[in-house]
Amino acid sequence: MKKRIVVCGGMNSVYETVFSCLLANFPIEIALIKDDLFDQATFDQLASAADLQTHVDLISGDASLLKTADLLILTDIMPQQEKQSKADYVAAALPHFRALIGTAMSQGFAGKLCLLQTYDDIFTYLAWKFSGLPKANIFGLGTFTDTLILERLLQKRLRVGRHDVRAYVVGNSDHKIIAWSRAYLGASPLLSLVASDTTDFDTDQMQQLEQQLTLIADSKQMATQTLSLQLVIRALFFEDGLISTFTALHHFDDKQQVAYSTPIYLSDAGVRMLTTVSLAEDEASELTAVKQATRDFLTKIETGQIGA
């Protein structure tokens, strides 16, 4: 039986997400819910594309499709306006987001939940609070795409193969941190190249790579999202798993949770923290600040200061 993936959200972002799934051509069934955000003309365009693929089925129907869904992908419900603040955007999206989660749970949804949303650290946490699903079942794309881009930039710069470099971008969409202390070329720390006389890799080139990463990531290229989503679906349903930087829930203190991107293991069992990543002091300090800012923002939501 094919895995069922339900995609919900604003129709523009749903279109891009479904198209990404279609290009992968995995043996899956993609389902769209005929809710207030559904657009028949857009669905018809996607259905025409689906007919050209050999393994993918595309269907639409009512919310009962959620009951047997293996994966629910929630995309942006609305685009963020140019001058719209983070707080105003989250407040505007929150009622629709809560309604989508409520609909899914009322139908008995018990699968994995993937957030492809602006500020997915915020919405990953809220999805957990609103749904009651296990933490392992909920994750956001987070800085996964940034990590893929960084690794590819390093591969090109160092002229090595795709399996020769490991690097990570942690944090969230507001503050992306390159964990240079955890980057490796083969078995050697990447930073050892900076101190070596045998290569021309130096701090200036590291800064150039950071600038390139920012330019590419900020452009929100559909091609990079497509590749990212394909790897996620493969890890969840068709391979043994994947270790990379996804947004997941972690303990902030003894009583509170917070979501941010850090290396985790994604598989058919959901997300799992294998070990705590040891960062350099400055990187760890930056990440601590990210977690605190996210937790402060969530507190404002929970106390009614945002989205009341």
Single-letter amino acid, residue 40: Q
Can you give the residue range of the structural domain that contains 36? 3-140
Residue 266 resides in a domain: no
Specify the pairing of strand 112-116 against strand 138-140: parallel
Q: Give the model's confidence band at 5: pLDDT under 50 very low, under 70 low, under 90 confident, else very high.
A: very high
Structural domains of the chain, count: 1
Give yes or no for residue 45 having a pLDDT over 90. yes
Residue 36 resides in a domain: yes
Cα separation values, 37 from 42, 47, 304, Å: 11, 17, 26
Give yes or no for residue 239 having a pLDDT over 70. yes
Residue 236 resides in a domain: no
Residue 164 resides in a domain: no
Residue 182 resides in a domain: no
Tell me, what's the pLDDT at 193? 83
Among 36-50, 196-210, 239-253, the range scoring the smallest mean pLDDT is: 196-210
CA 306, CA 97: separation in Å to the nearest integer?
Answer: 14
Residue 275 resides in a domain: no
Q: Give the model's confidence band at 82: pLDDT under 50 very low, under 70 low, under 90 confident, else very high.
A: confident
Q: Which residues contact 84 (CB under 8 A, 6 or more apart)?
A: 92
Among 16-20, 192-196, 277-281, 287-291, the range scoring the smallest mean pLDDT is: 192-196
Give yes or no for residue 307 having a pLDDT over 90. no
Tell me, what's the pLDDT at 219? 67
Q: Give the model's confidence band at 308: pLDDT under 50 very low, under 70 low, under 90 confident, else very high.
A: low
Tell me, what's the pLDDT at 200? 77
Residue 133 resides in a domain: yes
Reported as a single tens digit per residue, the pLDDT across 89-110 is 999 999 999 999 999 999 999 9
Query: Which range is most confident: 36-45, 58-67, 153-162?
Result: 58-67
Residue 230 CB-density burial (10 A; 0-12 exposed, 13-18 middle, 19+ buried): middle
Tell me, what's the pLDDT at 197? 72
CATH number at residue 118: 3.40.50.720
Tokens of 117: 């949303």
Residue 58 resides in a domain: yes
